[in-house]
Amino acid sequence: TKATLTKVLQSERLEKDDLLVTTGEAGYQRDLLIGKISEIIKNEVEPFQKAEINLFLDYGRLENVFLVK
């Protein structure tokens, strides 16, 4: 399953195979693995870059999730 990471400032350094994790904002647990960057899409005239993400899970198929701290 894939997703697109959008609105990343051009000044932010993204690299292929970087891991994407949660930040802990918006009530989510910090450092949960989300996926891996498979492609970076840059257009120098745009303020933002994008990245294609290979998700580790098919989040649309989740029914029950337990977080253990």
Q: In this predicted model, what pLDDT tens digit does every residue of 2-14 receive, in sequence order?
A: 999 999 999 999 9
What's the confidence (pLDDT) of residue 69?
Answer: 64
More reliable by pLDDT, 66 or 16: 16
Q: Please state, for a pLDDT cut of 90, what percent of the chain lies above it.
A: 64
Q: Is the pTM of this model over 0.85?
A: no
Report the DSSP pairing between strands 19-21 and 33-41.
antiparallel
What's the confidence (pLDDT) of residue 27?
Answer: 81
C-alpha distances in Å from residue 42, one per residue of 4, 51, 58: 13, 9, 26
Per the CB < 8 A criterion, the answer to whether 68 and 31 are in contact is: no
More reliable by pLDDT, 67 or 12: 12
